[in-house]
Structure 1
Amino acid sequence: MGEVTVAAYESFTLGPTDPYVEHLRNAAARDLEAELWVATPDNGDEILGTVTICREGSPWRELGGHDEGEFRMLAVAPGAQRSGVGEALVRLVMDRFREEGATAIVMSSLPQMADAHRLYERLGFERTPERDWKPVPHVQLIAYRLDLVA
């Protein structure tokens, strides 16, 4: 799971020595301290993608307020990109938080992740520039939000 995440984010890191790569690779911690979901083919165990759901109290949570769901590290294996895996994982997140009564879902993304932004916007997420932030001095993250209540 960690290697799929590293591969999916490879073009957005500074290379193998980027300290964030080990953070991406640490699927065991995400599974222990958050909720890690994995997409596999119907008749196999190949990992096609992953997403991390971050509930209140999780150390992986960065942006979510009270009653908001949050997800991170949506990753689709390079060979499975553009096949609907990412959308299936985001819809899973949406379903989970609707079931739990969350009022909204929030997430952060790098500005360069245009393919992901198109997916989020197609599913109803809207940019929330007032929540954009920098986890470290030279990394800008942009925020998205999906309202779950009408």
Structure 2
Amino acid sequence: MTAELVAGVAIETVRWDHPDAVRLRAEQQHEIDLRYAQPGRPPETGPDGLPVPDARDQVDPSNVFATLLLRVDGVAAAHAAVRDLSGRDDYRGGTHPDATAEVKRVYVAESFRGRGLARTLMEAVEDAARAAGARHLILETGLMQPESVGLYLRMGYDPVESFGVWSSEPGSRCFGKRLVPARPAPAARPVARVAVELREVPWDDPDAASLRRAMWAFHQERYPEMVPDVAVRGGHDAVDAERGRTALATFVATADGRPVGCATLAPSQAGPEHLTADPLHGIAGLGATRGAGGFEMRSVFVDPSARRTGVGTALVRRVEDEARARGGRALYLGTGIRQPEALRLYVGLGYRPVLPYPPHADADDPLLLFLGRPL
């Protein structure tokens, strides 16, 4: 079945073993192998000279209920598939809920990128999943595919806990989206914008320190696995003092005379080149950029009582202004996978996923996503 969307662009439903589908999946696998190859260790190849697929991630075609090809003027330009995961092992000690489907093998051929075809294909994937009765759509990608992470975030996918055969891989990131809400979402109560006053303060300013302590309490609830590491390093106060040694500027936001938010600018080893580096061909050189013009935004926190009032936006913009005043040409940040509200804020303010940057370049923290924007 083929559905034409706009002139020259059509979505076709095919068998898993359709020759064009097989070819595009092979192209994707080759690209993945290049992106995730360890320095000095080329991908394992078979007798035909082609990379040997990882046996952990082979798709059983009997579980696939839709394989989609996007064609441009008749040429197969993109591929995606959807499989049923209802009741199947999630590799975390449980099973996936009923009506759960997974998106697999989303790929746009290199010569067709930059035209919005990936979004068009993903919209067709969501339609196919709904038609099959799926209510929850999940997928897995990796930190070395920042353009894919950006697409999913912009389409309303939130990070979810890692699942499947890659759940123990620190560079894996998983996302999910509710296709049919379990119950009607209550209308969000309008929150009035407040008059925000921003002031620069020393790192150890009592209001800033109190807000960071509240942020740590928030993190302990959402990221309990962080607690032992912080304890080994001497507890929150010791870690906080350590981070303060590299702070360049700290800001506190007040509303009605009450401190409600904070943020800090720090140096970064990632420079503006990191935003534009080719993630396929330029990976090897990224760790060597030493950040002329690059800064990092840290310790951004807004008291729950002041969220959705413009405080977070005001803090981010103030840090950006400070970075520019110091000659900054790019600003980076890391945020946690269990903070979808923060991710929505940053994406809405123009931040896009980037490759892990120093000191996170080894991607050893499975809880972080990395974002950046040019200044």
Could you say whether these structures have the same fold, taking a TM-score greater than 0.5 normalized by the shorter chain as the test?
yes
Partner of 1:131: 356
- The answer to whether the 8 A contact 2:250-2:262 is kept is yes
Separation in 1 of the partners of 2:312 and 2:318? 10
- Tell me the secondary structure at the aligned position of residue 328 of structure 2: coil
Q: Contact (CA 8 Å) 2:263, 2:301: kept in 1 or not?
A: yes
Q: Residue 224 of structure 2: which of 1, 9, 14 is its match?
A: 14
Between Structure 1 and Structure 2, how many residues are aligned? 139
Deviation by residue 1:119-145 (Cα, 9 ceiling, x = unmatched): 1111111111x2174899664321101
Alignment of 1:1-150 (within 5 A): 1-9=208-216, 10=218, 11-14=221-224, 18=228, 19=230, 22=236, 26=240, 30=244, 33-34=246-247, 35-41=249-255, 43-44=256-257, 46-55=258-267, 65-128=291-354, 130-131=355-356, 133=360, 139-148=366-375
Equivalent residues of 2:356, 2:362 under 8 A apart? no
Structure 1: give runs of 5+ residues left out of the alignment: 56-60
Q: Is the 8 A contact 1:7 1:78 kept in 2?
A: no
Percent identity among equivalent residues?
27
Amino acid at match of 1:37: F
**Contact 2:270 2:295 survives alignment (8 Å):** no
Q: Which digits, 9 at most, give the CA deviation of each residue in 1:27-56, with x for residues without a partner?
A: 7962x6412210112x52x2100001103x
Q: CA RMSD in A?
A: 3.1
Local SS of the residue matching 1:101: coil
Q: TM-score, normalised by structure 2?
A: 0.33
Judged with a 3 Å threshold, the aligned counterparts in structure 2 of structure 1 residues 5 and 90 are, in CA distance, closer, same or farther, namely same
What is the rounded CA distance, in whole Å, between the counterparts of 1:73 and 1:24 in structure 2? 15
Counterpart-to-counterpart distance in 1, 2:215 and 2:320: 21
The answer as to whether partners of 1:2 and 1:24 remain within 8 angstroms in 2 is no
Distance 1:119 1:97, change over 3 A: same
Higher helix share: 1
The structure-2 alpha-carbon separation of the partners of 1:14 and 1:63, relative to structure 1 and needing over 3 Å to count, comes to farther
Letter in 2 for 1:142: L
Q: Which has the higher contact order (CA 8 A, sep 6+)?
A: 1
Structure 1 or 2, whichever has the larger Rg, is 2
The one-letter amino acid of 2:301's match is A
